Structure 1
């Protein structure tokens, strides 16, 4: 978990830097409303520790980073609907209580409604979101001590996603973003097609990015 916390600290430091840009920016909003916004960024996934059991052993999960993309349609100055997802796969390490190890990759995608506080012209605009996600899991690899020659399979976690974040206006078109997303979902494990436990992945995904409005 130390690697995860170091990565989160780096992300937090990066997220703070847009404030300096926002303070000097010309944030006068255009008279023409901008209905679309797009954000490209990078995020670190931190799955739940003590996530459950697999093959009769308690499991601890650790995460990694991946690029992300999102696009949103803004109904008005405050309300929007967003499509968000990972542009590549997050890799998670699995550490079992008996010392066995494994890993898998997942690629989440989500649709959320958002509410943006304040006015479009202000330098910093916080927002919140709530929606639904699914995360495709593949490339599961585990030590032979876990399942021998049998395949360890994990099904698709799905459920609610909650978002908190803030946009830092650089101009009326360009902005920087910092956000945190909580994905609530479990995955059932199978070894050779036989049920073998459940993992409560429940990750936090903390990210930064740069966006544009059109």
Structure 2
């Protein structure tokens, strides 16, 4: 129920953000309708994925890409995702006992503050993500395979763009992805609500056109 409330709130806010954009579709003083950004991004999963178990998953760095359609100079819709998989070492008290890989993709409504030509432009976003989990390699006593379902849920974004020219800009952003996974062995669920819930920090370069 908690996750449903989060998803409902994210969908409602995204709708409220996007609605004025379509009403003001012609209001684009900069003349720029699209932007793309390539970033180097750190993704760090929840430090306590299983309640009551001493298990942790390391973070990793991977390239991410985003493409945004700008309804006007302040409101846009962004498609963001990892261009490669993040690899996470899974550790316990005795050290590393496995690895998993993740690859998120998200669609968000964004609001960019200020005028298009000002040097620094902070922005916020809210939307929905789906994170593909793959290549689970987790050691078990009987050698059976442990798989994880794909976390999905709300994503929140904060960031700032620094204009370099009317076309080029630098970007720094942080994101939080809400979503849990279930652990399965031989088709049977052995643990529910494994907290993935990662945050990301990215630095990149972008272009508007």
For this structure pair, what is the TM-score category when the shorter chain's length is used for normalisation? 0.7 to 0.9
User: Whole-Å Cα distance in 1 between the matches of residues 155 and 200 of structure 2?
Assistant: 10
Compute the TM-score of the two structures, normalised by the length of structure 1: 0.80
User: Whole-Å Cα distance in 1 between the matches of residues 30 and 100 of structure 2?
Assistant: 46
Equivalence for 1:212: 207
Equivalence for 1:38: 36
Equivalence for 1:140: 136
Correspondence 1:53-64 to 2 at 5 A: 57-64=53-60
- Equivalent residue of 2:171, what SS? strand
2:120 counterpart of 1:124:
yes
1:67 to 1:100, Cα distance in 2 relative to 1, 3 A: closer
User: Whole-Å Cα distance in 1 between the matches of residues 148 and 124 of structure 2?
Assistant: 30
2:172 counterpart of 1:178:
yes
Equivalence for 1:9: none
Structure 1 portions without partners, runs of 5+: 1-29
CA contact (8 A) 2:30 2:73 kept: no
Number of residues of Structure 1 aligned to a counterpart in Structure 2: 181
- Out of 83, 90, 97, which is 1:87 matched to? 83
> Which string of whole-angstrom CA distances, capped at 9 and with x for unpartnered residues, describes residues 127-185 of structure 1?
00000000111100012xx2522111000000000000000000010000000000000
Q: CA deviation at 1:101?
A: 1.3
User: Whole-Å Cα distance in 1 between the matches of residues 196 and 151 of structure 2?
Assistant: 8
Q: CA deviation at 1:31?
A: 6.1
User: Whole-Å Cα distance in 1 between the matches of residues 96 and 169 of structure 2?
Assistant: 44
2:143 counterpart of 1:149:
yes
- Equivalent residue of 1:149, what SS? coil
CA contact (8 A) 1:57 1:97 kept: no
Equivalence for 1:52: 50
- Out of 189, 192, 197, which is 1:202 matched to? 197
CA contact (8 A) 1:147 1:191 kept: no
User: Whole-Å Cα distance in 2 between the matches of residues 31 and 63 of structure 1?
Assistant: 40
CA contact (8 A) 1:72 1:81 kept: yes
2:156 counterpart of 1:162:
yes
Structure 2 portions without partners, runs of 5+: 1-27
- Equivalent residue of 1:52, what SS? coil
The structure showing larger relative contact order (alpha-carbon pairs under 8 Å, at least 6 residues apart) is: 1
CA contact (8 A) 1:102 1:141 kept: yes
User: Whole-Å Cα distance in 1 between the matches of residues 188 and 94 of structure 2?
Assistant: 20
